[in-house]
């Protein structure tokens, strides 16, 4: 696996290849969910490129950015074992040479659900993803459906800006008790980890969003939202408080 630490190293690498490229953008702290995306990308492309970049522009709270797990060494080992061809590891200065003056945004969907609780979050996501797509120029882009709103918004971005990239959503990977795999799970203490599975269990309930919200509150979650929309129920909750709060999101398909 080639480790490319700058856009110019990426360009040099690309100049030697005319293969189809599957791209998996990540913020590191990799888990089986990411490796499933890599596996799918390997099956459908000649080469797989992964990026790891903890994007400051998509964090609305400094504490959340500071607490985000960073595990570069084990990430590199896992990606190598998974047969990734190139890992792009840019710095903040390289990605935001413009000082973050140029951004891309969407309305109104980016202001709903997670966007309502995290102002500017999706502007940060869409901006960095457009930059990464312009750098990597993949054939196919792989995104996890746990972040379903993000997946939909990036699909829309690719269409709106006429990028010739197939955007592929990959079903959420879950722990045996149903908890959606997420880099943030690493921060849960054993008691929170046990409670966390309640999110997926309750989202599947046939009862109303209001009932699910009330049950989540009983379990000790701070509930950001529970919303049913277009055949899916979306939920976002927090465990812990203040600077140590851990935000978990999930969504499930709901039969009518």
- Shortest Cβ distance from residue 236 to ligand PAF (Å)? 14
Can residue 27 be called a binding residue for ligand PAF (CB under 6 A)?
Answer: yes
**Residue (75 or 147) nearer to ligand PAF, CB:** 147
Site for ligand PAF in 216-235 (CB under 6 A): none
The region, left, alpha or beta by phi > 0 then psi within -120 to 50, assigned to residue 47 is beta
What is the torsion angle, in degrees rounded to the nearest 10, for the CA atoms of residue 139, residue 130, residue 117 and residue 60? Answer: 130
- Shortest Cβ distance from residue 21 to ligand PAF (Å)? 16
Helix (H, G, I), strand (E, B) or coil at 142: strand
Q: Which residues contact 199 (CB under 8 A, 6 or more apart)?
A: 179, 180, 216, 221, 235, 237, 248, 250
In DSSP terms, 226 is beta-bridged to 235
Residues binding ligand PAF: number (CB under 6 A): 10
CA 54 – CA 71 distance, rounded (Å)? 11
Can residue 36 be called a binding residue for ligand PAF (CB under 6 A)?
Answer: no
Site for ligand PAF in 47-66 (CB under 6 A): 55, 58
Could you confirm whether 121 is annotated as catalytic?
no
Figure out which of the listed residues 79, 129, 170, 216 binds ligand PAF, where binding follows CB under 6 A. 129
Which residues of this chain interact with ligand PAF, rule CB under 6 A? 25-27, 55, 58, 125, 128-129, 147, 150
């Amino acid at each position: 696996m080639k480790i490319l630490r700058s856009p110019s190293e990426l360009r040099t690498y690309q100049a030697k290849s005319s293969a189809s490229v599957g791209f998996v953008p990540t913020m590191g702290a990799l888990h089986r969910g990411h490796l499933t995306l890599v596996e799918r990308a390997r099956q459908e492309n000649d080469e797989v490129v992964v990026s790891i970049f903890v994007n400051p522009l998509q964090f609305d709270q400094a504490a959340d950015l500071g607490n985000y797990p960073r595990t570069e060494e084990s990430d590199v080992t896992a990606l190598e074992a998974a047969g990734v061809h190139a890992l792009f590891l840019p710095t903040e200065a390289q990605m935001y040479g413009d000082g973050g003056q140029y951004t891309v945004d969407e309305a109104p969907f980016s202001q709903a659900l997670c966007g309502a609780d995290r102002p500017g979050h999706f502007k940060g996501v869409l901006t960095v993803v457009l930059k990464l797509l312009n750098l990597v120029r993949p054939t196919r882009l792989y995104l996890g459906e746990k972040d379903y709103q993000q997946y939909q918004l990036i699909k829309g971005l690719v269409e709106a800006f006429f990028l010739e990239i197939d955007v592929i959503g990959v079903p959420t990977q879950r722990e045996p008790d149903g908890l959606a795999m997420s880099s943030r799970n690493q921060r849960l203490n054993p008691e929170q980890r046990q409670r966390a599975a309640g999110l997926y269990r309750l989202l599947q309930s046939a009862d109303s969003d209001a009932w699910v919200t009330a049950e989540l509150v009983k379990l000790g979650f701070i509930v950001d939202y529970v919303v049913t929309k277009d055949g899916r129920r979306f939920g976002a909750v927090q465990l812990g408080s203040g600077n140590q709060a851990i935000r978990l999101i999930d969504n499930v398909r709901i039969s009518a």
